[in-house]
Amino acid sequence: MSAAPTIRGRVAIAGIGETDYYKHGQAPESEMTLALRAILRACEDAGVDPRAVDGFASYSNDRNDPSRLAAALGLPELRFSNMQWGGGGGGGSAAVGNAAAAIAAGYADCVVVFRALAQGQFQRFGAAPPATTASGEAALTFPYGLISPAQRFAMRVMRFMHDHGIRPEAPRAIALASYHHAQANPRAVMHGRPLTPEAYDASRWIVEPFRLFDCCLENDGAAALLLVAAERARDLRSRPAYLLGVAQGSEYRNAARGHNAPTYASASFTTVAPRLYAMAGLASKDIDVVQSYENFTGGVLMSLVEHDFFAADEANDFLSLDNLTAPGGRLPLNTSGGNLAECYMHGLELQIEAVRQLRGESASQVPGARTAMVISGPMVTPVSSMILGGEGML
Amino acid sequence: MSATVSYLPAGLPSPVPEADGLDAPYWEGTRRGELRVQRCRACQGWQWGPEWICHRCLAFDLAWTAVAPHGRIYSWERAWHPVHPALRGHGPYLVVLVELPHAGGVRMVGNLLGDPMQTVDIGAAVEAVFEPHDEATPPFTLVQWRRTP
């Protein structure tokens, strides 16, 4: 009989690619062009002929269909195409897991995970869709002015903060860490625009408990990862980042309509995170750096609790700028600036930053980082998270 | 019939029953001033939001049961940024999530009537206020909440 089913160490991210990042609506090229450029850069980074790509995986209903991409790129054969169900950034790590599973299973050999956004060319996330009626889940919320993602998640965070006595300084530290790291990252949209605690405190409410700086950006751009089998990755141009673990899902009845999830004050990782650690054979103390999807800072806070970095009742003490920043913090967080201050590439820029950390190439490098976690899409369902490691972790 | 006095400005999306009819009994109930949620005829379990099957016993036999229109605040938010054109210039408003302990703890989303800057206490008792929109096409009635005196 074979060993316990796992893809630990069997697949690696061999190439990373991204476009320049733009404010939403300001991309000078079509969304499809952005996607193609990111994919070609990931191939170039790995030193892989683009015609060797034989699969695609994405999430959040990316508009750039794999068959069209394969035709546009002149691929000899498309062997795997996969869309992770669910909205927001919850599928970012799951898409990597799906691609890795395809490689491990032999469905395909060289799979690209990508996400492209040019919101100016389409509907914007943070604004209400232009409909005069609402049905289903939306009928229970839209007529009450509960419409946008920020409004959808604020009550989860409000309840969590109430239950655990979380002070405003805790989510503030998460925002400050992202802006701090963005100042070292020339790619970041907020490079050159530092954030002070005073500016945070003076910023306007979007929806309590979220101020302006608790909310992600909305950007245009594209990002791509190229995955191959681990043994093949060792022969390629860039240092491989091995997938040590990945998990997706959500807890019991998370999607019960009208805000009826039994585990309401949650980032949706209470069952996912233990499975992630079990697959990787690691614990939170083994993680050197974390990239945690910020739709809203309160979601990051709950994600870190659910991944066992600190207890909810310790959040006020743990979440300080010193603890969250590279190189010396206890838990360096969102070291590129993340969704708040680098770019909102629906979180896939977080996977790229995790790879950079393991290569030793981050603008805010954690010295000797051997493991990097990515947490994708708090408070939606399904969510996902993953752990990457360098050669020494195999 | 009195003119509609609504908490939020006109122009937000109107609720309409789903095309498959799943939640039509709920919206019909609010028109009559009834707050109805699903209750399984087989296991007597409560369920909300609506679904075609009981999540406890998997029976396809769900009744629509009127419940006493009161509860307690489970969570809340004060919205400031106008995400819809109808809300521009309106100012902040309160959204509450209300738990109904006498109906299995199901929760309802609504607005908390009164001063939008009032202090909101999780756990506070509230009662439903039916807010008819008779002039809408089709007409509908929202379920709002106010602090129990």
Segment holding A38, helix H or strand E:
helix A31-46
A210 contact partners, CB below 8 Å, separation of at least 6: A150, A154, A157, A296, A297, A298
Q: Do A154 and B77 touch (CB under 8 A)?
A: yes
The residue whose two tokens read 């490689």 is A103
In 3D space, the residue among B76, B83, B13, B131 whose CA is nearest the CA of residue A140 turns out to be B13
The pLDDT value given to residue B137? 87
Alpha-carbon gap: B149 to the closest alpha carbon of chain A (Å): 23
The strand pair at A219-229 and B62-66 is best described as unpaired
Angle A89-A95-A101 from CA coordinates, rounded to 5°: 155
Dihedral sign of CA atoms A234, A238, A239, A245 in order: negative
pLDDT mean by block of 10 residues, chain A; 394 residues: 77 97 91 97 98 98 96 98 94 98 98 92 73 94 97 98 98 98 96 98 98 94 97 97 98 97 98 98 98 97 98 98 98 97 93 98 98 97 98 94
pLDDT tens, A101-137? Answer: 999 999 999 999 999 999 777 777 777 777 899 999 9
Pull the structure tokens for residue A358.
């393991």
User: What are the structure tokens assigned to A109, written together?
Assistant: 């050999």
Contact at CB, A150 and B81, closer than 8 angstroms: yes
List pLDDT tens digits, range A141-164. 999 999 999 999 999 999 999 999
B3: CB partners within 8 A, 6+ apart: none
Question: What are the chain A neighbours of B17 within 8 Å (beta carbons)?
Answer: 135, 139
Structural domains present in chain A: 11-122+215-393 (3.40.47.10)
At residue A52's C-alpha, the angle toward residues A114 and A82, to 5°, is 40
Copy the structure tokens of residue B86: 């109808």
pLDDT in the model for residue A3: 59
Q: Which residues of A are less than 8 Å from B16 in CB distance? A: 133-135, 139
- Give strand ranges (E) for chain A: 11-18, 22-23, 55-59, 80-84, 110-117, 133-134, 205-208, 210-211, 219-229, 241-249, 289-292, 371-376, 383-389
CA distance B121 to B124: 6
In this prediction the pTM is 0.96
Closest by CA position to A300, among listed A260, A269, A346:
A269
Closest by Cα among A10, A88, A55 to A224: A55
User: Are residues A205 and B80, on separate chains, in Cβ contact within 8 Å?
Assistant: yes
Q: Which residues contact A189 (CB under 8 A, 6 or more apart)?
A: A21, A22, A23, A182, A217, A219, A337, A341, A342, A343
Measured between CA atoms, how close is A219 to chain B, in angstroms?
18
Residue B4 has pLDDT above 90, yes or no: no
Q: Does B149 contact A at CB distance below 8 Å?
A: no
Can you name the residues that pair with A48 across neighbouring β-strands?
none
User: Which residue, A345, A240, A329, A341, is CA-closest to A287?
Assistant: A329
The nearest CA of chain B is from the CA of A270 a distance in Å of 20
| Contact across the interface for B108 and A158, Cβ inside 8 Å | no
Number of CB pairs < 8 Å for A and B?
134
Please answer yes or no on whether B75 and A257 come within 8 Å at the CB atom: no
